[in-house]
Amino acid sequence: MGILGQQINLAYAYTLKERFVKKYGEAFHWHHETYWVYPKPETIADSKLEELLELQMTRKKAE
């Protein structure tokens, strides 16, 4: 997750992380709240570059 936040401002780093986790992670509900779990490494390994670019990552971050 550290790569997502490199060389960008903190607010945008949080935005990228949220997009990433909501796209590839899993949600669970507890006490009427939704929480997100980071995606598994194999899920990310199977992702396509274009999918990561759609999250508005830079090409280098996506690679």
In sequence order, the 6+-apart residues with CB closer than 8 A to the CB of 23 are 51, 55
Q: Say how far apart CA 20 and CA 30 lie, in whole Å.
A: 21
What would you measure as the largest C-alpha separation in the chain, in angstroms? 39
What local confidence, expressed as pLDDT, does residue 31 receive? 95
Per DSSP, which regions of the chain are E strands? 26-30, 33-37
pTM, 2 dp: 0.80
pLDDT for res 39: 92
Span 3-37, pLDDT tens digits: 676 677 888 888 999 999 999 999 999 999 999 99
